[in-house]
Structure 1
Amino acid sequence: MRKFFKYGLSLLVVVIAIVVVTNYKVLNIVTGFAAKSTCSCTFEGNRNLASIEAGDNDIFPVKYATNTINFEEKSVSSTFFGLKKRTAIFKKGVGCVLVPEGDKPVESFTPNRTFVKNEIPYPYGNLPQKDTVFPEVDYKKLDKTVSRVFDEGAQKIKRTRAVLVLYKDKIIAEKYANGFSKNSQLLGWSMTKSIASAAIGVLEKKGVLSKDDANLFPEWSQDKRANITLNNVLQMNTGLEWDENYNTISDVTKMLYLEEDMTKSQLSKSLVSEPNNSWNYSSGTTNLLTRIINNKFNTKQEALDFWYAELIDKIGMNSMILETDLSGNYVASSYGWATARDWAKFGLLYLHKGNWNGTQILNESWVNYSVTPTNGSNGRYGAQFWLNAGGEYPNVPKELFSCNGYQGQYVFVIPTKNLVIVRFGLSKEPAFNIDEFLSGIIASIN
C-alpha cells in the first residue's frame, strides 16, 4: 500500500510537471495579466484588491491567480496556485510595468508634465461647470436611458462603471457605479489607440511627417515592407501577419505580457497579404506608431514629453497617464488611464474638428481623414477610430465614430447631434446594447 502511494505520488508529480512545462507560456500570461492589472488598478485607479479581483480580474483563468500587494515597494506579485510568479512594479508618471525575470533592473522614465490651471468652467478649464438647462433635452428620458445600463443591487450583467454625456460642450448626464466617481482614473484599453492617432496628427500639422510616408523602418528597407505607408499603419491595413486573440497565446497576449519592447512585436512580422487591401485589427500595428513617433525625436525624454506637451495636457487631460513598457515606450495599443471627464475632452477635440477652445491642435483635414473608412473594414474602421459608416448601429447616425476599448470602453462622437458620450464597463453586446443606449440618448434631445 505504501509502495502504491509512493508510486501514485510520483506519477502525480510527473503529471503536474508536464502540465506546468506544457502550459508555461499560458501561466506566464495569466500571472502577467493578474499582476499588471492589479498593480495598475491599485496604484493608478486607487482601488482595493477585493474590487479588482471581483471586477477587472474576474475572467478565466486569471480569476484563479493569487495577488499580493506590497504597498511599501508599490508592487504586486501574482501566482497561479503557487506557480509562475510574475511581479509588476509602479513607477510614477508611467504606471505599472511587468518586471523581467532575472536580475535585470527596471529603468525609470518620467515624462515632464505641465498642468495649466485655466480659471474657466469645465470642459475648457478647472472650475465647475456652469448650470445649464437645455429646453430641448428631456432629462427624465435621458436619466432613464443612462440608468438602464447600470446593474441593480448585486447584479453583474451590464457592469457599467461610468457614463458621461456631453451636449453642446455641457454635461447633461453623469452617473457612476458604486466605488467609482468623477475622480476615478479608468483604463481605456484600446481607446488609447485613438490617442496615438492624434499624436501622429499633431506631428502631421507640424509638417514632421505625412500619412503618405513610406520606408518607415530600416528593418523593412530590403523587402516589400518598404512600400508600407504610414496611412497603412494608421488604418491597420499593412498586410503584416498578426493574431489579435485575447483568449489564447497569440501575438497580442505575448506582446502585452512577455515583451520588453512592444514596438518590436509587429516590426518583425512578415507580409502575408497586400497592403491597403487587407484590413486586420492589430494592437501591434498601433505600437508601431509609438516607434514612429520616437524616431522623430533625438532622445526618449523628448518623445515621452511630446505626447503630453502637445496633446494631452494641452487639452486639459491632466488625469491621463500613458503607461510604458520596460523599454520606456508608451503602450499606445492598450494602456491609457484617465477620468471619464478627461476622456470626454478627447472626444470634444474631435467633435470640434481638432480645435480646442480656439486653438487648432489638429488639422481639420486630419480629423476628416481619421474617420474615413479604410478598405476592407466594411465601413467599421478609420485611422485608429471605429466607425458606424457601415450601419452597425442601425438606429444611430452613420456619421458616428468612436474610440473603443476591451470589455466595453467607449468614447462616442456624433457631430450633427453635438454629442460626446463616454461609457466605461466590463460588458459588451448583448449585455450592453450600444444601439439601444445611443439611440435612447439621441431620442431624449428634441
Structure 2
Amino acid sequence: MKNIFKTLCLLFTIVILYFGFVNYPKLDLISGFSAKSMASGHFIDHRSQEMIENGDNDIKMIDLASNKIDENGKFATASVYGLKKRKAIYREGLGATLVNSDFDETLPYETPKRTLLNNNLPYPYGNENPEVSVFKTIDYTKLNAAVANAFDVSEKKDKRTRAVVVLYKDKLIAEKYATGFNKNSKILGWSMTKSITGALFGVLQKQGKFNIYTPAPIPSWQKDTRKIITTNDLLHMNSGLEWEENYNTICDATQMLFLAEDMGKIQMEKPAVFMPDSHWNYSSGTTNLLSKIIRSQFKTHQEYLDFWYSSLIDKIGMNSMVIETDMIGNYVGSSYGWATPRDWAKFGLLYLRNGNWKGEQILDPSWVHYSATPTNTSDGAYGAQFWLNAGGRFPDVPRDMYYCSGYQGQMVAIIPSLDLVIVRMGLKEDPAFDFNGFLKGIIGSLKK
C-alpha cells in the first residue's frame, strides 16, 4: 500500500513539474493578455470585471489569471497563482497599454487631438439617428431571420456574436446586439485595425507624401539584402521577412503584443528568409512596422498621433474609435483598434464608395482597387491589409467581396456588386462560426 502511495505521489510530482516546465514561460503572456483585456474593456467600454472575465477572457489558459481593477489609478493587474504579475495602465486618448517595471508612469505624454463630426446628418454619414428606409428589393423577413440566426439563444455559447450591422445603398437596414451590448458599445476589432493602418498609406500617397513602391525607409536595412524590400511588399505581407504568427503558443506575435516596448521594432529586426514578392506570410509585426514607418514621416510625435484621426478616422465620423499605443507611444496598428460596430461599418462604407465620403475624396479610387487586388503569392486570399474572397474562401458569397478580419471573428465585409457592407463582431471565428452561411443568408434576402 505504501509503495502504491509513493508511486502516486511521484507521478503527481512529475505531472506538476511537467505542467510547470511547459507552461511557466507562458505565464507572462497569460497575465499580460488578461491585464490588457481587463484595462481596455473596462476603461474604454465600461464593462464590469465579471463581464470581461466571462466574455473576453474565458479563453483556455487565459481564464487561469486572477485580475484586479484599480478605478482611481486607472489600471488593471493580473497574475497566475500569484506569479508573473502584469499591469496595464489606461490613459485617455491612448487606451490601455501593458507596461513593464522600467516604464515611468509619471512622465507626461501626448494624446491625439480629436474632432467630432457634427454635420447633423443621419447615420451613416452623420451621427444622428438613421433614416427609416424600406427597399422593395429586400425580403425583410429573410434578412431579420439571417441576422437573428447569427446570435445564440438562451445561455448557449455556440455562436457568440455580439453585434451585426448591415448597410445597403448607404442605409442601415439591419442591426442587432447581444445582451450587454448596444449601438454605443466599443468593441475591439483586433486585426481589422490592420486595414485602418493600410488606409493611412493611401492617404499619404494621395497627398503626394509617400511612394509605396520605393524601398521602405528603414536605415538599418540599407546594409543588407533587406534594402530592396518596398513598403508595397510590407502592405502585401510578402516582404520575405521571418515571422511566426500562432496565437496558441509563444511566438513572434504573442511576444510582441504582450512583452514588447516597441512593437514595430520586432519585425524590423527580423532577417529576410525569402526574396520579396515570392512568399506570402501573414504578420502582425509587419503592420506594426508600417505604423512605425508612418511615424517616421512626421517631425513630431504629436503630428503622428493626430494624423490617424484628422486625416481618416474623425474625418468619416468614426468618433468612437480608439487606437491604443505601445510603451513608446506608437499606435499598435496591427491589433488594438476599438470602435462601435456602426463606426466599423463607416470604414467599410468608405471603401465601398471608392474612398469618397459625402463628396470628399479621402482615398484615391486606385488605392481602393489596389487594396482589393490579390497579392500574387496569396492564392487570392489577401490584398493590401485586406482579406479577399477572390480565391473563393466563402463559396456562396460574391468573389468581389473583400474584408477586414480580426481574431475571434471580427469582420467588416465589403461587397461592391451588391452595394453592401456587413459587420459582425463576436468571440468565435470561422469555421466555429459559419461565416459563409451568415453572409449567404443576408445576401439571400436581396431580391434579384
TM-score when normalising by structure 1: 0.95
Q: Within the alignment, does 1:40 sit opposite 2:40 as a pair?
A: yes
Instruction: Return the alpha-carbon distance in structure 2 between the equivalents of residues 360 and 386 of structure 1.
Output: 23
Instruction: Return the alpha-carbon distance in structure 1 between the equivalents of residues 14 and 110 of structure 2.
Output: 44
Instruction: Return the alpha-carbon distance in structure 2 between the equivalents of residues 255 and 29 of structure 1.
Output: 10
Contact kept? 2:117, 2:127, Cα under 8 Å: no
Q: Which one-letter code corresponds to 2:66 in the other structure? A: T
Q: Within the alignment, does 1:259 sit opposite 2:253 as a pair?
A: no
The more displaced of 59-68 and 20-29 is 20-29
Instruction: Return the alpha-carbon distance in structure 1 between the equivalents of residues 15 and 395 of structure 2.
Output: 53
Residue 144 of structure 1 corresponds to: 145
Q: Which one-letter code corresponds to 2:218 in the other structure? A: F
Contact kept? 1:115, 1:318, Cα under 8 Å: yes
Q: Which one-letter code corresponds to 2:86 in the other structure? A: R
- Any idea what the Cα deviations from partners look like across 1:312-348, whole Å, max 9, x if unmatched? 0000000000000010000000000000000000000
Q: Within the alignment, does 1:335 sit opposite 2:336 as a pair?
A: yes
Contact kept? 1:44, 1:95, Cα under 8 Å: yes
Contact kept? 2:103, 2:327, Cα under 8 Å: no
Instruction: Return the alpha-carbon distance in structure 1 between the equivalents of residues 304 and 139 of structure 2.
Output: 46
Any residues of structure 2 matched to 1:384-395 within 5 Å, and which?
A: 384-395=385-396
Instruction: Return the alpha-carbon distance in structure 1 between the equivalents of residues 173 and 12 of structure 2.
Output: 61
Residue 427 of structure 2 corresponds to: 426
Residue 310 of structure 1 corresponds to: 311
The more displaced of 367-376 and 422-431 is 422-431
Contact kept? 1:216, 1:228, Cα under 8 Å: no
Any residues of structure 2 matched to 1:39-438 within 5 Å, and which?
A: 39-102=39-102, 104-105=104-105, 107=107, 108-438=109-439
Structure 2 regions of 5+ residues with no counterpart?
1-7
Instruction: Return the alpha-carbon distance in structure 2 between the equivalents of residues 349 and 402 of structure 1.
Output: 12
Q: 1:422 to 1:21 in 2, by over 3 A?
A: same
Contact kept? 1:215, 1:221, Cα under 8 Å: no
Q: Which one-letter code corresponds to 2:36 in the other structure? A: K
Instruction: Return the alpha-carbon distance in structure 2 between the equivalents of residues 191 and 197 of structure 1.
Output: 10
Contact kept? 1:99, 1:106, Cα under 8 Å: no
Q: Which one-letter code corresponds to 1:256 in the other structure? A: L
Contact kept? 1:106, 1:326, Cα under 8 Å: no
- Any idea what the Cα deviations from partners look like across 1:220-239, whole Å, max 9, x if unmatched? 00011000011100000000
Q: 1:397 to 1:73 in 2, by over 3 A?
A: same
Q: 1:51 to 1:401 in 2, by over 3 A?
A: same
The alignment partner of 1:368 has SS state of: helix
Q: Please identify runs of 4+ aligned residues in structure 1 that moved more than 3 A.
A: 11-25, 102-107
Quote the offset at 1:364 in angstroms. Answer: 0.4
The alignment partner of 2:333 has SS state of: coil
Instruction: Return the alpha-carbon distance in structure 1 between the equivalents of residues 88 and 270 of structure 2.
Output: 28
Instruction: Return the alpha-carbon distance in structure 1 between the equivalents of residues 47 and 419 of structure 2.
Output: 34
The alignment partner of 2:404 has SS state of: strand
Q: 1:23 to 1:439 in 2, by over 3 A?
A: closer
Any residues of structure 2 matched to 1:16-27 within 5 Å, and which?
A: 23-27=23-27
Contact kept? 2:192, 2:406, Cα under 8 Å: yes
Residue 3 of structure 2 corresponds to: none
Instruction: Return the alpha-carbon distance in structure 2 between the equivalents of residues 263 and 274 of structure 1.
Output: 21
Contact kept? 2:234, 2:286, Cα under 8 Å: yes
Q: Which one-letter code corresponds to 2:234 in the other structure? A: V
Instruction: Return the alpha-carbon distance in structure 2 between the equivalents of residues 17 and 96 of structure 1.
Output: 35
- Any idea what the Cα deviations from partners look like across 1:43-89, whole Å, max 9, x if unmatched? 11211111111111111100010001111111111010111110111
Contact kept? 1:36, 1:96, Cα under 8 Å: yes
Instruction: Return the alpha-carbon distance in structure 1 between the equivalents of residues 44 and 216 of structure 2.
Output: 38
Quote the offset at 1:424 in angstroms. Answer: 0.3
Q: 1:35 to 1:165 in 2, by over 3 A?
A: same
Q: What percentage of residue pairs aligned between the two structures are identical? A: 55
Quote the offset at 1:14 in angstroms. Answer: 12
The alignment partner of 1:174 has SS state of: strand
Q: Which one-letter code corresponds to 1:59 in the other structure? A: I
Instruction: Return the alpha-carbon distance in structure 1 between the equivalents of residues 442 and 411 of structure 2.
Output: 15
Instruction: Return the alpha-carbon distance in structure 2 between the equivalents of residues 19 and 125 of structure 1.
Output: 54
The more displaced of 347-356 and 101-110 is 101-110
Instruction: Return the alpha-carbon distance in structure 1 between the equivalents of residues 106 and 266 of structure 2.
Output: 20
Quote the offset at 1:431 in angstroms. Answer: 3.0
Q: Which one-letter code corresponds to 2:297 in the other structure? A: K
- Any idea what the Cα deviations from partners look like across 1:17-58, whole Å, max 9, x if unmatched? 997677443111110000000110111121111111111111
Structure 1 regions of 5+ residues with no counterpart?
1-7
Instruction: Return the alpha-carbon distance in structure 1 between the equivalents of residues 158 and 122 of structure 2.
Output: 36
Quote the offset at 1:116 in angstroms. Answer: 2.9
The alignment partner of 2:405 has SS state of: strand
Q: Which one-letter code corresponds to 1:276 in the other structure? A: D
RMSD: 2.0
Instruction: Return the alpha-carbon distance in structure 2 between the equivalents of residues 235 and 177 of structure 1.
Output: 35
Q: 1:51 to 1:349 in 2, by over 3 A?
A: same
Instruction: Return the alpha-carbon distance in structure 1 between the equivalents of residues 417 and 33 of structure 2.
Output: 40
Instruction: Return the alpha-carbon distance in structure 2 between the equivalents of residues 63 and 259 of structure 1.
Output: 22
Contact kept? 1:78, 1:87, Cα under 8 Å: yes
Instruction: Return the alpha-carbon distance in structure 2 between the equivalents of residues 106 and 371 of structure 1.
Output: 44
Quote the offset at 1:105 in angstroms. Answer: 3.4
